[in-house]
Amino acid sequence: MKLYNLKDNNEEVNFLSAIKYGLGKKQGLFFPKYLPKFNTKALENLIKMNFIDRSTHILSHFISDEISLKDLKKQIKIAFSFTKPIIVPVTKNISCLELFHGPTLAFKDFGARFMAQMLSYWKNKNSIMTILTATSGDTGAAVAHAFYRMNNIRVVILYPKGRVSKLQEILFCTLGKNIHTIAIDGSFDDCQYLVKQSFNDKKLKKKIGLNSANSINISRLLAQICYYFEAFSLIPSKYHNDIVISIPCGNFGNLTAGLIAKSLGLPIKSFIAATNSNDTVPRFLKNGKWKPKSTISTISNAMDISQPNNWPRVEELFKRKKWDLNDLKSESVSDTETIQTIRELYKIGYTSEPHAAIAYKVLKKHIQKTDFGLFLGTAHPSKFQNTVEKILSIKLKLPNSLQSRVDLKNFSHNMKPDFLKLKKFLLKNI
Ligand SMILES: *Cc1c(COP(=O)(O)O)cnc(C)c1O
C-alpha cells in the first residue's frame, strides 16, 4: 500500500512506515494513494461474510502487498476478539450503532488494538519502541490495554489533568508495567502539541523508537472502516440506500473512516458531523473560515478539541472523490442541549452518555421520514458515570471491566506542558 504525505506529496511510504512514523515530513498526514472500490456484486459478497472474514478482506485490499492474508486474518482475529458492534433501535427510524462493547468500553478499542497487532507483527524483536500518545479520554485507555504487557514496547500517555472522567482515568492509569501515564497541566491541545514536538526531535525519536498512536495513525482509521461495513450488514436491505449516519466528532477520525468506507462503495446516503461547543468545523462549513478558538471544556470531554487533526484527510477525500463539502452536515450542540437530549433519550427507554447524545440530537433534527438514521454510540454510559447519574438522577451499574479497577492504585505522574520536562522523562524511563 502506497501512502502520500498531504503536506508534501512527494513523500511516499508504505503501510508499515506510515504506521511506524505516524506523521510525515512537516507533520503531514499520510493518505492512501489508491482507494479500492467494491462493485455491487463484491459488496453483496462482503455483506454475507462474518465480521472477521469481511474485515480481513476489506483491509487486504489496502495492505495485501505487505502482509499475507493468513497473517492478516490472524492479527485481526486477535485485535477484534471482543463483542461486535450492535444496532439498538431507539425511535421508529433512529438506531444507535453501539461500538462500546470492547475491553475499554469505547470505539477506540477497534483502532488501537488493530494498530497494536500490526506494530507488534512488524516489530524488530530486539529494539525498544515507545508509543507516545495524547488522549482526551478514551484513546489512552484503548491504547494502554492494546499494548499492555507487550515485550519491548513502552507506552507513554499524556492527558489533560482534571479533564478526563475519573472512570476513564482508572482504565489506563492503574495498569503500570509498560504503561506510563502523565497528567499534563493544560488542555488536550497542549498534550497533542507535546507529542508533535517530540516527533520533531529527530535524535529523541531515534533513540527511543518513537511511534504515535493518536487517531492520526492511518492504521486506526483503516480498522474503523470495518464497523461501517458491519453496520451495513446488520441493516435490512430495504433501507440500504437511505442510511444517514451521525458521528460525534472530536479529532474527526471516526468521520474520516466512515467517508473512506463510502469511497470504497458502501452506499451511505449522508454523514452528519456533530460536535460540542468546540465548533471549528461547523463554523468553517458555514463561512469558509478556518478559525479555531481556544478549547472549551464540556461534558463530552473526548470531543474537546478545537483543532481536529484529521480534517485535512476529510478535505482530501472530498477533493479526490469530487464530492461536495456542502453535502456534509455539521452542527454543534451545547452542554445544556446535550443534557436535555440525554433526558429525552432516557424517557424513551435509552440510556446514553454525552457524546452519543450529541450525535442523536443533530441526527434527529435533520432526518427525513424515509431515512434509516444511525448515530454512533462511541462510549459506554458508565464511562461517564458521574455526569450521567447526575443528569438522570439514577444509579448506573458499572460493567465488570470498570468495577474491577475502581480501587486500584493510580500510577500517574504530573507535569507542566513543557517539552524539555517530557523529553527528560522519555529518556529516563527507557
Ligand atoms: C474519541 C471519541 C470521540 C471522537 O472521535 P474522533 O474520531 O476523534 O472524532 C467521540 N466520542 C468518544 C466517546 C470518544 O472517545
Coil vs helix vs strand at 201: coil
Q: Which fold has domain 84-103+219-396?
A: Rossmann fold (3.40.50)
Centre of ligand 1 from the C-alpha of residue 127, in Å: 32
Nearest Cα neighbor of 216 from 267, 252, 169, 177 is 252
How distant, in Å, are the alpha carbons of 26, 253, 256, 262, 344 from that of 225? Answer: 27, 10, 9, 9, 30
Question: Using an 8 Å Cβ cutoff, are 251 and 276 in contact?
Answer: no
CA-closest candidate to residue 243, choices 207, 268, 217, 277: 268
Instruction: Give 248's pLDDT tier (boundaries 50, 70, 90).
Output: very high
- Does ligand 1 lie within 6 Å of residue 250's CB atom? yes
The answer, yes or no, to whether residue 182 has pLDDT greater than 90, is yes
CB contact set of 129 (below 8 Å; sequence gap of 6+): 119, 123, 152, 153, 154, 209, 211
**Ligand 1: does its nearest atom lie under 6 Å from the Cβ of 302?**
yes
The cell numbers describing 365, all together, are 433534527
Provide the percentage of residues in the chain whose pLDDT is more than 90. 85
Ligand 1 pocket check: which of 167, 358, 375, 378 to mutate, most ligand atoms within 8 Å of Cβ? 378
Q: Are 247 and 306 in contact (CB under 8 A)?
A: no
Q: Name the pLDDT band for 34 (thresholds 50, 70, 90).
A: very high
Q: Rounded to whole angstroms, how far apart are CA atoms 340 and 206?
A: 50
pLDDT at position 189: 86
In degrees rounded to 5, what are phi and psi of residue 9? Answer: -60, -15
Q: Which long-range contacts (CB under 8 A, 24 or more apart) does 50-57 make?
A: 51/80, 51/84, 51/226, 51/230, 52/76, 52/77, 52/80, 54/226, 54/229, 54/230, 54/233, 55/80, 55/223, 55/226, 55/229, 55/230
Task: Answer whether residue 214 shows pLDDT above 80.
Answer: no
Residue 28 DSSP label: P
Residue nearest to atom 15 of ligand 1 (CA): 138
Question: To the nearest whole number, what is the mean pLDDT of the chain?
Answer: 94
Task: Summarize the confidence of residues 166-181 as an average pLDDT.
Answer: 92
Name the phi and psi angles at 118, rounded to 5. -70, -40
21 in contact with ligand 1, CB cutoff 6 A? no
Using DSSP's 3-state secondary structure scheme, residue 346 falls into: helix
**Which residue has the least CA distance to atom 4 on ligand 1?**
250
pLDDT of residue 212: 75
Q: Is the pLDDT of residue 137 over 80?
A: no
User: What confidence score (pLDDT) does residue 402 get?
Assistant: 87
Does residue 251 line the site of ligand 1, with CB under 6 A?
Answer: yes
Grid coordinates of 232: 451495513
Which cell goes with 379?
462510549
Question: Quick check: CB of 104 below 6 Å from ligand 1?
Answer: no
Q: How confident is residue 215, by pLDDT bands cut at 50, 70 and 90?
A: low
Please give the distance, rounded to the nearest whole angstrom, from the Cα atom of residue 378 to the centre of ligand 1: 7
Q: What is the pLDDT of residues 339-381, one digit of tens each?
A: 999 999 999 999 999 999 999 999 999 999 999 999 999 999 9
CA angle 358, 109, 400 (to 5 degrees): 90
Beta carbons of 381 and 373 less than 8 angstroms apart: no
Cβ of 292: how many Cβ atoms within 10 Å?
Answer: 16
The alpha carbon of 315 and the centre of ligand 1 are apart by a number of angstroms equal to: 19
Query: What pTM was computed for the model?
Result: 0.92
The residue whose CA has the least distance to atom 14 of ligand 1 is: 302
Residues with Cβ < 8 Å from 425, sequence gap 6 or more?
156, 180, 182, 413, 415
Average pLDDT over residues 43-58: 97
Q: Where does 49-107 have alpha helices with state H?
A: 51-63, 69-79
Q: What are φ and ψ of residue 352, in 5° steps?
A: -125, -175
**Cα(69) to centroid of ligand 1, in Å?**
30
Residue nearest to atom 8 of ligand 1 (CA): 251
